[in-house]
Structure 1
């Protein structure tokens, strides 16, 4: 195996990393899945549970991309809040999307429970208001969710209580979502892979797909072997690259970065985040953070829009961390890493078919743990003949980034810098 995981806290604490091989044969199967992140692994597991024998081809390692490097926050939406979805799509559609969002969270929790995946699943995400107006918006959304959706697990947290829950003076209030959770993202991916293999899926690492034929069945070629499959699932997200030019202009790869401090001790960790909830703020370029089981602060902050990561990721992320927690100025940083995700213009995921036998899902815009896992489940439903829920999401129209794949970056950078500037205004 030529590829290794990046030097992250997650890689250092990974459990059950399998010894897999690359594809070195010619295989025929019902379904070939490209990508062993949450989308591909969930599709493989749900298909295997239905009796299929899917093949998964991964260019690197299981969970090597965003699935094994992210902030570990298991949200309860499809990325946009319900008020925004109502304004954009109408009340009926928003209600249907909420039902899918609730299923996405339940699906992740069910997989973890049924297959006894050891991934530190811990309750609750606290959404923190960076500005005074944001606090009012969070209070209104909590009330709306209770009244219009009967969702009682989201409550407003006033400013005084916020300061008791999080040792920072930065926030004007918040909303605590007790239906949400946080977890070890790489161990969740590895656990899902083990479950899929147990049910009969085959996973090949170090098996980058070079091309996919337009035939039916399709022929998927790697450097050392081929797969001939009745169905092809493209589950590459931020690492799609040039593999499928018909959809890569609808997503934008961007990079996020995370640091892990030295262990703070039980008292030090509790003093920072009293109830061990995950936290995500309301900035456009958000800060997101939580505690690890061994008492470290895992803090994500800052992003860039180029193919390259910053030379000193620790210094890059330390700045936003110290804006929130200046008391950590002398704390050692033990790990620093980055990862690439894919966003869409609408910030809603993109699902679709490129041919009757070619299906894809991507563009989770930072909400990948629940939405990508749901995507895999809906893909499995579609392959087995029940496409209504997949088609609901596939029917949501998305736009290409202006300028296509060559010119999208300058426009994105300009827009991101504008909103990042607004984050700094009172």
Structure 2
């Protein structure tokens, strides 16, 4: 078989499936200006959303990207648009109080709505669809816990949900692997490659200079701003934004010590008949289990003959052939009659997490940043980009419940070797 793996088709690629509809350009090799009002490091969702609003607010904006624009997680993620964190509403309410829980999940709603607003305002054709999400339980106890959690959200936030018993779940997903779940009717999905392409087009139309293949090596704080050191040049900037999430490094050591990169893996099946895929996922939701270390699946947006499937978060294996085989095993465990299914695309990307598994936005020594999204990058990256722009422009609405300094560990300097072990330890309750 191709690449020596029975999990891979003869047409298999290790590039993200999303790049088919939104090919990555080799251009954007613009020469940076000597001076700019705002320098943004990172051309993903956060950086581009901030750049668009800043440029429309009258600022000269330059975006620096180490590789081609959108090389990172913004075009490698699952395309899920929801409003949930690893810390549940009930957990925050119990540990920090009801007001903190409502403020936190209220901002998640703001992020959820921000994506829809951007898609509509910029007319981005990215298959955005409020198709609903089905959260799946892997044990009866988990099902009970989910029902209690979402009852709290309905009570205090007014967010509707429906429980789906194990007897009813085959109306949504053709498997007995799970023990029912919770359906959130308004959660959404999109095509992340096309969403990013729409943001990139909007940024350019607003006058943003995109400098691809222009890595930032560091910066120096000046009395009136910053000197940013890029490949072969220095750029003077009044304001500086880091929007690198899991792709940041030694160019900003303070942030590197606080956001840990880790890998997530995803695959897209070879084409099936539309009848077969509709029989497997009749609910046509975004599906994800409620484990700490999740599996997720959906019908590929824009192609009703393929399924996207992801999991194995935090694992580290450079050989994607091996990861394809492991993903295949996990998929067949859920759908036994998919034995022998092959993948046309298998890829990985870097997520970013904080030590307390909570996203962060803020400013340190004058440098603006947002990241540590912990699996909520599409909505939180969109909102954080908007809030960073508002803060720089002096507009209202920049404040955030997530604007607290992310914790650091004295022994961590950027080598996140421990993440796979930590994820396994934190996933102990999944079993």
**So what's the TM-score if we normalise by structure 2?**
0.90
CA spacing shift, 1:307–1:262, aligned 2, 3 Å? closer
1:378·1:387 contact (CA, 8 Å) conserved in 2?
Answer: no
1:351·1:390 contact (CA, 8 Å) conserved in 2?
Answer: no
Instruction: State the Cα deviation string for residues 288-339 of structure 1 (Å, max 9, x = none).
Output: 1111132201000113354845453311311211111121112221111111
Instruction: State the Cα deviation string for residues 336-375 of structure 1 (Å, max 9, x = none).
Output: 111111111221112221223x111110011100011111
Q: Secondary structure at the match of 2:346?
A: strand
1:174-193, aligned counterparts within 5 Å? 174-193=181-200
Partner of 2:83: 76
CA spacing shift, 1:278–1:249, aligned 2, 3 Å? same
CA distance in 1, matches of 2:422, 2:187: 30
**Alignment partner of 1:156 out of 163, 167, 173:** 163
1:37-186, aligned counterparts within 5 Å? 37-123=44-130, 124-152=132-160, 154-186=161-193
CA distance in 2, matches of 1:87, 1:361: 27
CA distance in 2, matches of 1:220, 1:347: 30
CA distance in 1, matches of 2:415, 2:73: 24
2:27·2:212 contact (CA, 8 Å) conserved in 1?
Answer: yes
CA distance in 1, matches of 2:416, 2:22: 36
Q: Secondary structure at the match of 1:41?
A: helix
Partner of 2:9: none
Offset at residue 415 of structure 1 (A):
2.6
Offset at residue 49 of structure 1 (A):
2.9
1:53·1:201 contact (CA, 8 Å) conserved in 2?
Answer: yes
Offset at residue 401 of structure 1 (A):
4.5
Is 2:233 the counterpart of 1:225?
A: yes
1:255·1:304 contact (CA, 8 Å) conserved in 2?
Answer: yes
Instruction: State the Cα deviation string for residues 203-232 of structure 1 (Å, max 9, x = none).
Output: 111111111112132111211433211100
Q: Secondary structure at the match of 1:117?
A: coil
Offset at residue 13 of structure 1 (A):
2.1
CA distance in 2, matches of 1:179, 1:288: 18
1:79·1:367 contact (CA, 8 Å) conserved in 2?
Answer: no
Offset at residue 133 of structure 1 (A):
1.1
Partner of 1:373: 382
CA distance in 2, matches of 1:210, 1:42: 23
2:42·2:65 contact (CA, 8 Å) conserved in 1?
Answer: yes
CA spacing shift, 1:79–1:233, aligned 2, 3 Å? farther
2:34·2:236 contact (CA, 8 Å) conserved in 1?
Answer: yes
Instruction: State the Cα deviation string for residues 361-399 of structure 1 (Å, max 9, x = none).
Output: 11001110001111101101110114764353213x532
CA distance in 1, matches of 2:77, 2:333: 21
Q: Secondary structure at the match of 2:152?
A: helix
Q: Which range moves more in the overlay, 45-54 or 55-64? A: 45-54
Is 2:353 the counterpart of 1:343?
A: yes
CA spacing shift, 1:178–1:53, aligned 2, 3 Å? farther
CA distance in 2, matches of 1:323, 1:218: 53
CA distance in 2, matches of 1:93, 1:389: 18
When the two structures are aligned, how many residues end up with a matched partner? Answer: 415
Offset at residue 25 of structure 1 (A):
4.2
CA distance in 2, matches of 1:310, 1:255: 12
**Alignment partner of 1:269 out of 265, 274, 277:** 277
2:102·2:156 contact (CA, 8 Å) conserved in 1?
Answer: no
CA spacing shift, 1:354–1:23, aligned 2, 3 Å? farther
Q: Which range moves more in the overlay, 21-30 or 249-258? A: 21-30
**Alignment partner of 1:352 out of 351, 359, 362:** 362
**So what's the TM-score if we normalise by structure 1?**
0.91
1:25·1:224 contact (CA, 8 Å) conserved in 2?
Answer: no
Partner of 1:405: 413
1:255·1:309 contact (CA, 8 Å) conserved in 2?
Answer: no
Partner of 1:331: 341
CA spacing shift, 1:102–1:158, aligned 2, 3 Å? same
Q: Secondary structure at the match of 1:141?
A: helix
Offset at residue 256 of structure 1 (A):
0.6
**Alignment partner of 1:415 out of 418, 422, 427:** 422
CA distance in 2, matches of 1:389, 1:382: 5
1:79·1:364 contact (CA, 8 Å) conserved in 2?
Answer: no
Q: Which range moves more in the overlay, 32-41 or 379-388? A: 379-388
Partner of 2:242: 234
Q: Secondary structure at the match of 2:77?
A: coil
Offset at residue 148 of structure 1 (A):
1.3
2:260·2:414 contact (CA, 8 Å) conserved in 1?
Answer: no
**Alignment partner of 1:300 out of 310, 320, 325:** 310
Partner of 1:243: 251
